[in-house]
């Protein structure tokens, strides 16, 4: 064993994240203010683990003061969440703000600032208003892009003086991939054209919001505007050209489709050619591409949980199946891989270092940070000690390894500004609900959602106070 000690750089973010819909609950929500998630939950309650969903979530809407006090106790420098678009407005088309919900956000921001925790806010973490989903098929519509920009303008006008770091979307690829590409979520429609249309309109929405942010002069007040993406670090099974091609094409469809427009201002020509080859129809104009080109983001948050591995396909494609990027790849399971069995995700902390290198070499070393990383564990109460505190040594070990690779990348020149854990408290996930627990703070569903710090919360506080990550490492060459 040898001791590793690595200092957190000055100003390094050591925070945690969550989202509005996964924590707030429906208290105070008015008729007509459902989000896409609320709609899906109402229609399809049986697919949500144990019936839990966004209805109560962690009741953050009523208990945020208690939670902000816990953030301070745990030592978070920053906390990221979203504003719930579906609740911020009473009328999405005419831009009528719900003063009651907006007042709650005012109070939340003030409380965080009072406790010395810097807020980072996302304009959408899947909370597309259900009405816009049903009437206009959501992001299929160019009009919805305009209403999103109108919503962003109202949000900035109200809060940009107090909140400096803004993000348009969290993981903008997720909803349409699950709904329109894989057809595993309500309303279960496989339609590759719609999938690509949503991708494009979300890229356009980011660029238009960046344009607005600049035009309104928020940068001069110390503000910045970015997007939170979830590129999957994708490794080919082997170095053979067919496997390498499979990984490259996977990367184009799932990673570069958002990374490139956001950071470089354009779609990869190879992706555009593949979409054309497979007759995927998406409606875009030269003017829209120019807006994307001229309005790239200031920084990106990157959500990193697991490596993805692919190999070249070994089966023939059924020509009756609509085009799906899986035409070019199959998933590959590495023999001997380490697993988080609760979530079914491989664990490989080097993904952070590899992503850092990529952002340095291929994306102009843009400022970025790990926006989410964490470990969801099922049936976590089995790890409670006699005092009822979850002894989550596995989570501490997971964070240690991932934070280590983050800091090492930074030492070697990555422009990485910080590390944020998913999540601050346990919370509701799409379908998995409260099955896998991610938090530093337990939410006890059996006792009125009582909050109880886990062992990792205390450990997190100590790292923050010491300003250094220290651990014993197994010597590699045994």
Q: What is the four-CA torsion angle of 222, 223, 224, 227, rounded to 10 degrees?
A: 160
Instruction: State the nearest-atom distance from the C-beta of 133 to ligand BG6, in Å.
Output: 18
Residue 199 or 429 with smaller CB distance to ligand BG6: 429
For residue 410 the two structure tokens come to: 């930074």
CA dist., res. 372 & res. 19, Å (int): 11
State the nearest-atom distance from the C-beta of 16 to ligand BG6, in Å.
12
CA–CA distance, 400 with 4 (Å, rounded to integer): 11
- Residue closer to ligand BG6 (CB basis): 185 or 360: 185
At residue 462, the 3 state secondary structure works out as helix
Q: Which is nearer to ligand BG6, 155 or 423 (CB)?
A: 423
Least gap, CB of 161 to ligand BG6 (angstroms): 27
Asked if 380 is an active-site residue, the reply is no
Catalytic residue among 24, 127, 171, 442: 171
Query: Binding of ligand BG6 at residue 434 (CB under 6 A)?
Result: no
> Is there a contact between 73 and 79 (Cβ–Cβ < 8 Å)?
no
Number of residues that bind ligand BG6 (CB under 6 A): 14
431-469 as b/e, with b when 16 or more CB fall inside 10 Å?
A: bbbbbbbbbbbbbebeeebebbbbbbbebbbebbeeeeb
Q: Which of residues 441-470 bind ligand BG6 (CB under 6 A)?
A: none
Binding to ligand BG6 by CB under 6 A, coded x per residue (else -) over 286-325, reads -----------------x----------------------
Helix (H) / strand (E) element for 310: namely strand 308-311
Taking residue 387's Cβ as centre, other Cβ atoms within 10 Å add up to: 6
Are the C-beta atoms of residues 123 and 166 closer than 8 Å to each other?
A: yes
Nearer to ligand BG6, 58 or 295 (CB): 58
Instruction: Give the count of beta carbons closer than 10 Å to the beta carbon of residue 309.
Output: 24
Task: Please report how close the Cβ of residue 172 comes to ligand BG6 at its closest, in angstroms.
Answer: 11
For residue 171, state whether it binds ligand BG6 (rule: CB under 6 A).
yes
Q: Out of 23, 192, 230, 296, point to the residue binding ligand BG6 (CB under 6 A).
A: 230
Ranges assigned E (strand) in 84-221: 89-91, 96-97, 118-124, 165-170
Q: Which is nearer to ligand BG6, 372 or 392 (CB)?
A: 372
- Distance (Å, rounded) from C-alpha 63 to C-alpha 315? 52
Rounded to whole angstroms, the maximal C-alpha distance in the chain is 66
Task: Give the CA count within 13 Å in the CB-facing half-sphere of 168.
Answer: 31
Per-position x/- string for 375-404, each x denoting binding to ligand BG6 as judged by CB under 6 A, each - no binding = -x----------------------------
Binding mask 412-431 for ligand BG6 (x = CB under 6 A): ----------x------xx-
- Residue nearest ligand BG6 by beta-carbon distance: 429
d(CA 64, CA 167): 21
Residue 441 CB, shortest distance to ligand BG6, in Å, is 15
Q: Given the complex with ligand BG6, which of 101 and 126 has the nearer CB atom?
A: 126
For ligand BG6, the closer of residues 197 and 340 by Cβ is: 340
Question: Which of 268/376 has CB closer to ligand BG6?
Answer: 376
Give me the least distance between CB of 414 and ligand BG6, in Å please. 22
Query: DSSP string spanning 188-202?
Result: ----HHHHHHHHHHH
Q: Among this protein's residues, is 171 annotated catalytic?
A: yes
The CB-of-340 to ligand BG6 minimum distance in angstroms stands at 10
Nearer to ligand BG6 by C-beta: 234 or 295? 234
Question: Alpha-carbon distance 183 to 175, whole Å?
Answer: 10
Q: Which of residues 56-115 bind ligand BG6 (CB under 6 A)?
A: none
Q: How far apart, in Å, are the Cα atoms of 351 and each of 8, 74, 218?
A: 20, 26, 34
Scanning residues 126 to 155, which ones bind ligand BG6 (CB under 6 A)? none
Q: Which of 260, 372, 426, 442 binds ligand BG6 (CB under 6 A)?
A: 372
Residue 151 CA: distances (Å) to CA of 44, 96, 156, 347: 28, 9, 9, 38
Q: Is 199 in the site for ligand BG6 (CB under 6 A)?
A: no
The answer to whether 35 contacts ligand BG6 (rule: CB under 6 A) is: no
- Pick one of 237, 256, 309, 343: the residue that binds ligand BG6 (CB under 6 A): 343
| Ramachandran angles phi, psi of 14, nearest 5° | -130, 90
Residue from 124, 288, 299, 372 carrying the catalytic annotation: 372
Catalytic residues: 171, 372
Q: Under the rule (CB under 6 A), what is the footprint of ligand BG6?
A: 19, 22, 170-171, 230, 303, 343, 372, 376, 422, 429-430, 432, 436
């Amino acid at each position: 064993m040898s001791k590793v000690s690595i200092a957190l750089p000055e100003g390094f973010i050591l925070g945690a994240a969550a989202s509005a819909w996964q924590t707030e609950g429906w208290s105070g929500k008015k008729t007509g203010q459902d989000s896409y998630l609320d709609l899906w939950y109402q229609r399809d309650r049986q697919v949500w683990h144990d019936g839990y969903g966004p209805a109560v979530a962690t009741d953050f809407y009523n208990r945020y003061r208690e939670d902000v006090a816990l953030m301070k106790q745990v030592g978070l420098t920053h906390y990221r969440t979203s504003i719930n678009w579906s609740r911020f407005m009473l009328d999405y088309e005419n831009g009528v703000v719900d003063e009651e919900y907006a007042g709650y956000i005012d109070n939340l921001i003030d409380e965080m600032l009072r406790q010395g925790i810097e807020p980072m806010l996302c304009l959408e973490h899947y909370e597309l208003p259900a009405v816009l989903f049903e009437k206009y098929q959501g992001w299929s519509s160019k009009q919805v892009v305009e209403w999103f920009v109108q919503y962003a303008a109202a949000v900035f006008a109200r809060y940009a003086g107090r909140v400096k770091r803004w993000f348009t979307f969290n993981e903008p690829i997720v909803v349409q991939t699950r709904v329109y590409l894989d057809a595993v979520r309500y309303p279960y429609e496989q339609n590759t054209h719609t999938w690509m249309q949503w991708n494009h309109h979300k890229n356009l929405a980011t660029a238009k919001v960046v344009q607005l942010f600049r035009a309104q002069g928020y940068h001069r007040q110390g503000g910045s505007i970015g997007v939170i993406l979830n590129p999957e670090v994708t490794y080919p099974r082997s170095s053979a050209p067919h496997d390498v091609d499979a990984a490259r094409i996977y990367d184009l469809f799932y990673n570069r489709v958002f990374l490139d427009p956001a950071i470089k201002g354009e779609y990869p020509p190879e992706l555009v050619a593949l979409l054309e080859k497979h007759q995927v129809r998406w409606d875009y104009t030269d003017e829209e591409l120019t807006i994307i080109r001229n309005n790239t983001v200031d920084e990106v948050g990157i959500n990193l949980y697991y490596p993805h591995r692919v190999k070249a396909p070994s089966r023939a494609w059924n020509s009756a199946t609509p085009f799906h990027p899986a035409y070019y790849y199959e998933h590959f399971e590495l023999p001997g891989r380490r697993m988080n069995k609760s979530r079914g995700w491989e664990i490989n902390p080097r993904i952070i270092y590899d992503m850092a290198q990529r952002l340095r070499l291929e994306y102009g070393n843009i400022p970025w940070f790990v926006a989410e990383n964490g470990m969801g564990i099922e049936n976590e109460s089995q790890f409670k000690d006699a005092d009822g505190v979850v002894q989550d040594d596995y989570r501490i070990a997971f964070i240690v390894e991932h934070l280590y690779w983050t800091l090492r990348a930074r030492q070697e020149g990555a422009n990485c500004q910080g590390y944020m854990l998913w999540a601050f408290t346990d919370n509701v996930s799409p379908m998995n609900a409260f099955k896998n627990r991610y938090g530093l703070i337990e939410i006890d569903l059996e006792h009125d959602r009582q909050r109880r710090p886990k062992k990792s919360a205390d450990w997190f506080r100590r790292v923050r106070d010491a300003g250094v990550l220290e651990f014993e490492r197994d010597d590699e060459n045994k």
